[in-house]
Structure 1
Amino acid sequence: MDHSIWLSRSVDINDIISNVFGVLIGYIVLKAVGLVFPKLVQLFKYFNQAS
């Protein structure tokens, strides 16, 4: 069943659940890397500052 507009793709609840868990796992990994390598996180914060 096509749930999108003008695309031949369908959306399944399993796709949504997988994407949510992927985001959560990525966030946890990012926080863990920040705890182990805090200077690396500070480096990226420097690059994200607006001029």
Structure 2
Amino acid sequence: MAQYILNHSILLNRSVDINDVISNVIGVLVGYGALKIFRLILPKLVQKFEYFTQV
């Protein structure tokens, strides 16, 4: 979305494509999966970097 707004506001001459959206979604899913795996393997390390704790 930021790429689209910057393209139209300051003319970056970049195109916004569905491939960008798909790549970003896949990246989020891979990162979430990696976090789940690290949480299983090294739970105390992950707890040190958590911002929110479960109540």
Per the normalisation by structure 2, the TM-score is 0.68
Matched, 1:19 2:32: no
CA RMSD of aligned residues (A): 1.6
Compare the two structures and name the one with the higher helix fraction.
2
1:1-50 deviation per Cα after TM superposition (whole angstroms, max 9, x unaligned): xx5313211111111111101110111011110111000111112xx36x
Q: Percent identity?
A: 58
Structure 1 outlier segments of 4+, above 3 Å: none
Stretches of structure 1 lacking an aligned partner (at least 5 in a row): none
TM-score (norm 1): 0.72
Structure with more contact order per residue of length (Cα contacts < 8 Å, sep ≥ 6): 2
The equivalent position to 2:46 in structure 1, one of 22, 32, 41, is 41
* 2-structure distance, mates of 1:18, 1:42: 28
